Amino acid sequence: MPQKLLFVCLGNICRSPSAENIMNELVAQAGLEKQIICDSAGTGAYHVGEPPDRRMSYAASQRGLQLKGRARQFVVDDFESFDRIFAMDRSNYQNILRLDPQGKYKDKVELICSYCSEHNDSEVPDPYYGGDAGFDYVLDLLYDACGNLLSELEEQV
């Protein structure tokens, strides 16, 4: 049974698709595509059906990463469909948990930055309204976190 991971931000066009695609790249490099499956979603419905933000895609392309996918909104069924759910910031984390009022799935939800070892940030900042440097910084954080997350998962699979 593969381990299913879901990365969640607000609109699912910057941070969470970047995390999904970074993780997919690292999983492929490790030859674990059959053991680890990744997806992403947003807590809001603002961009449903849209491709990743062009500025985020450009920043990723500068590192040889192509961002694939279309934005979708997080739904209650995702709690059952995924083994682990990674929120980009505390606001996303709280929005996810609001959909689980009984707290049945709270152990599945965590902040992605808890896996960072090179950065001390506790949240991945939303680069949407900032400048180009913000998109690069998001990628730095996510490569750090996803690399460490993969190391943990490799021990389990």
Residue 22, classed as helix, strand or coil, is helix
Amino acid in the structure at residue 144: D
Q: Let me know if 72 is a catalytic residue.
A: no
- Count Cα atoms within 13 angstroms, Cβ side, for 47: 21
Q: Let me know if 9 is a catalytic residue.
A: yes
Cα separation, 36 vs 68, whole angstroms: 17
Closest of 38, 14, 22, 27 to residue 125, by C-alpha? 14
Cα separation, 41 vs 123, whole angstroms: 17
**Residues 79/83/89/94 CA torsion (nearest 10 deg):** 30
The active-site residue out of 14, 15, 38, 53 is: 15
CB-CB neighbours of 8 under 10 Å: 29
The active-site residue out of 39, 53, 78, 126 is: 126
CB-CB neighbours of 76 under 10 Å: 10
Catalytic residue list: 9, 15, 126
